[in-house]
Structure 1
Amino acid sequence: MDPPANIEITDPGFLGYLSIHWTQPASLQNLTGCTVRYQLRYYDTYEERWRSVRTVKLTYAAQFDLEKPVKVRILTVLKCACTNGTEVQGEEKEWVYTPEPTGVAGSRIRDFHCVYYGKEYMECTWEPGLVQPPNSQHYLYYWHREMDETKECPEYIILSEGRRGCRFPRESLLEFSKFNLCVNGSSPAGSLKMAYFSIEVQNHVKPAVVSSVHVSEIDGELKLDWSPPSGQVPEHCLEYEVESSTSMENGKEKQEKMVLQNLEDTSYGVPREVESQKTCFRIRSKVNMYCADGGFWSDWSQTKCTEDKETQYIPKWTYLGLVGLVVIGIAGVIILCLSLWILKKICIKKINKKNALYTLYKEKVNETMPTILSPIFK
């Protein structure tokens, strides 16, 4: 059985997303009542393995690294009466295209990597090639499947040596799809070598620093509580790593690390070491395996220790003692206020009675004394 004919690979300008076309073998065009399918294999240079697909169509699109040879293999699969109802595979045909290297030797960029910060913006940075002609200028272009054409970097990251990266706003990104990038350049000595990359942005997320970390101690148990980091990463997509460092009475340090993969779990508790003097914690986060195939750990949070005044909590029995003291104090204040109020009432009553008797006495004296002496007793 003949292989497909007129195999052709075209580049629509999507930075490695190529279209593969072919036609049905001439020997099968007059067959009726048969099922003709095609088995296509192509070499994925990003993952370094062959990928396979079966289709009844005469076209297929796939991602390739344009810095490496493009390898495609295709054969015909036939099933009809003449094959006794079983599938028969024909001869496989291979097509290889090797791009011709262009650009100044040694000028390809190095150390290219992208970080999607909190799912709010992404930065892709690079270092210049080992050979960088004077007055060189780099350019970055990108494309994903919801774009009609490639676009240039929306905001370059510029250092004293020139362009060293690109910052992408969240609106320009697309998750769970190939995000293709190309960095090239120009110089008076000629064009710089092109560098192609294809990533999935959800695998490059770096969450923000974990905030609101608190340490408490209740009945001999140390408990660490925190709030999820800010940003656009859903809480159920995060896992945490807790690092503890305990100072023992013998002067030694005991360190432990624990990864917490329980969804939406933002607390961690451990028994306090009997011979411990102080325990310090710090925590970081990462997108878990349920939401991405990869990612970066966040930076560590601020360290919190059991002896920190702002984080130290009082044991339960001490809370009960404090509550009792507060109640007793309030009761004492109330009793004191009532006593003062009663005493004031008694004093006012005695003063009023004394004034009334004195007034009556003056009236009797004035009645019996001569008029000339009455001013003395006023």
Structure 2
Amino acid sequence: MLKQLLPFLFLVGQILANKTPDVECLVVHLEHVRCVWNLQGTPDVNYTFSSRFSGERESSCADYLTERGTNIGCRRPYTTAQRFNTFYTKLTHGTQMYLKELDLKGKVKLNPPTNVTVKNGSDFNLWFYWNQTKPNCVESQVRVRMNNNKWEPSSVYNAQHYCLNLPSSSARYELQVRSRIESSCGESEFWSDWSEPAVWGSNNTTYVECLVIHLEHVRCVWNLQGTPDVNYTFSSRFSGERESSCADYLTESGTNIGCRRPYTIAQRFETFYTKLTHGDQKYPKELDLKGKVKLNPPTNVTVKNGSDFNLWFYWNQTKPNCVESQVRVRMNNNKWEPSSVYNAQHYCLNLPSSSARYELQVRSRIESSCGESEFWSDWSEPAVWGFNNTTYAAMPVWTAVLYVLGAMTLVLLVMILLHNKRIKIILIPPLPKPVLNSPDVEDWFHFSKGLIKEGFNANFSERACPVREYQPVSRSDSNSSDSSGLTTTTDQTDCSIAIAENEPEDTSAPLYTTVIPSEEGQQVSV
């Protein structure tokens, strides 16, 4: 039997040793399906890919996506008639096949809107227009900000324009837009990317925007609408100090587009003054940088499966004081779920599923008690835990073999016990099972061969043999001449014991007599 198990064990080891790929697909702009299987890195082998929608024949991939000569994805045609059909994929390498069934109804990502323009209407309102090449069943989201302040989002349904009422002539407005399939047509989980911004307002080309980077330096730029036509010089100061020229310019194609200057935490709540100069033209500006702080993203994001069976994520933020963090977690590449963390650099995920894949990212900003920043840091690098990733973590071959051998050994022991009663009795001694069907206690026992039940009959009687008391008799009191030819009977019990005649006499031994109780009317003397 062991020889028959060896091929099976070898096959199991080979399957567990190979990494299992997983395919993720996305419908791009309702024009083609893009499938990839490299979300966790380039595969070790070159897979071939085939797919089909329900109701059609399977076809091999005609347009592979490659990375360093290895197939990592495939692009295949798509029509809107296939929107609600099930999609089937198959990855093949040699004799190994990996099948998957996908519902792509919510996996649609449109291209960002194009030709975003702005017009000051005759109604004194500001009108923004854009073009979405898939206008049907599409909802849009616009975000507007004034003078580079916080973005304000708004939703737009089945339209390709947006109205901003009564804008200020002295302010600068910026708008971006993105789109997705709306809910009435099978809502998509994915928004398009944001469009290029459309800007309206005065003093655009000399508009200075400054940001405090990680509480270490101030970064000011004046190229938000493109590289300036002239080379400006820049000077700045915080309140209470002298104005100083820029010592560290940021350049683009030989033209100054920004400046980096030192910063200390003591200047956090002070007003910042800037001045752009070109010849006789000067453009001063006054800025409040309290909310214009952007921290670097957290680093060293790690994950640990704790002894409390929870999943613990840890990270490092080099500016830990007055910092709030936001984590986002997703399971098996599904939708991100955000959570807030205050004054801590860890996050606990309660009782994770051992069969799922978890991914976490974290970002930080200055919290409200210390002057809340408008800007979050960028998201950290993700920390991943679990096995349901695109390339499953393979179990060591010998571990798998030991598991299988242990199971087969247990099966063999059970089979041996079932077929060999002697070993079964040695390993598992049988317990007595009395049956109370018979009132006779002797029926409960099992008698060996050669013994009969009647030999153990409890109903028996035996004649009692009472014991008598012996007393020594002096030899002088006896007649030796008369005793030589006699037979002496000593009655110890009612069962008489005869003493053999002519037995030699031991002259040194004393003579005994038995005193018979008077009530029995007997006396024996020697």
TM-score class, shorter-chain normalisation, is 0.3 to 0.5
> Is the radius of gyration larger for structure 1 or structure 2?
2
What TM-score, normalized to structure 2? 0.33
Higher relative contact order (CA 8 A, sep 6+): 1
Name whichever structure is richer in helix by fraction.
Answer: 1
Name whichever structure is richer in strand by fraction.
Answer: 1
